[in-house]
Structure 1
């Protein structure tokens, strides 16, 4: 017969015996405190310094949050090199929030994402000027990376631009994962790109994975997970934006007399910009900077009714009527704003008559 195995000794975690041992240990420490001190003074100093550094890391300088009771929409920029799936991602997110199918994306698209939050999606073109403009105003960046190709130069350029403008929140999104047929290669690629992304941003930065496209959009479950993260994300106010007024224009209208433009094509124009005001207050006759047009003076500024208001009374979830969308430059709601005109699309049925082949009604 084999000898019976004894259980390993488990010291007491609580109770009378544990208390007795603790008292005994304390007495020993009181008698000879040097016996329990660190052997090296330098080591003790290092440990104390590290402890203080960790405490300081947790602390943030308190900043005044100037956002009003009804805050303007959160600006989410979708950035990435060409052919990484930026338009598809915006279409998928808009479909998730509002049940709208977008055919083309022009300008900012504002949606109601919750009881107290609205989101403005902006697609960043593959252009340095556009990247600089986006970095100035965005609250959250969805950085798209083609997993089958890896990081491209445009991504690193945009990250360098962001560092100058206060470095807003960044979430990475890996696309084109369906191009990997071997599961082992897919796993190693994910791991490699994740660590490279962490090197550029910070350790533990959030990275999402989007697989193949189904019916022109990304899978519902993956988009749902991403949209939940966007909806609950908190943003730390950035100092420059907190102390300056700025406006992201949703649409633009030229009010100059057409006859005057015909007579002199390079005459001074009167232009109206519509958008949500952020930061501090803006007043008439202020000097403002318009990217690409230089410094200009405001002739007048007025408050208009909110085109995409927050719901008045919402229960646990939003109803279909409360899921609003405002995209004046895109083809939403049959209204299309152009540089010099407003087009209204009136859907109708056109039928061909038998008696006259060339006649349509």
Structure 2
């Protein structure tokens, strides 16, 4: 299921070369402030386009919501206002609708320009910071739903229509190594199921595509339950069954983990595995369909390394070990392979992107599964 790694498997290679390559690069000193100064013009243009997109999105989606309410409750307004006043209101609304069409076109063009400039700036930054790592933009991503379903981190059914995924970027080594990382947006759960309902589909559409864009960190992420880093790597050992290491505080939440664990227990006979490390158990919960295999993998040293990685990331991590593959993911609402405009200045933005990528690339080596 670790697609893109068959060539390495046939040749007998069992190393996460990308992780080691990134570790070698991190030994070099990078002047992030100087690099940000060099790219300042591009970064400022990206930030300007981001602001244009943000302003237009708020105006457009507010008007869309108002228009939706007008269409939905037009009959009620007619009954209350009378035909004369309603006709006058309609004559006012028509120009607003025409303006909405024009602004929607402007938003589409602005969003396209923003993505193009952001990807161009990200490509230049990657070439300067991590020259041995290949950056694949949105149009060249190779991640698909089968890879995510194989991880068991987001769904337990290979044919589940409730899982939808978009890839916004990917990094790999020039040698076609077995460790790859992507910036993904994943939609799952009851909203994906209800979007096919003849009535509730409209409610889901309005919520996802009208209301959420007003408040989302990134407009394109508004339709997703999860946006962030997803990595996968073929390992030198196989595992009996599936072993999932998930954030402990999500265990009782409906929507994702409650349904997910129920399905795991029903279909794969997965069960909770209690371990003896209190620090690890404070951060993670483990489910496996083979408790012996889980205990053999999650040694005290392995649990300490996972805990250290969680603290280093500063955010929740999810791990999955399945049929000779390691999968892992971390939520990053502003995007994994995207610029963080709020940190622009003093090299902080590029340093943050660099740290996220290098730390993500070292996970397999840190866990000792390569």
TM-score (structure 2 length as normaliser): 0.24
Q: RCO (CA 8 Å, sep 6+): is it higher in 1 or 2?
A: 2
Structure that is richer in helix per residue: 2
TM-score, reference length from structure 1: 0.24
Structure index of larger Rg: 1
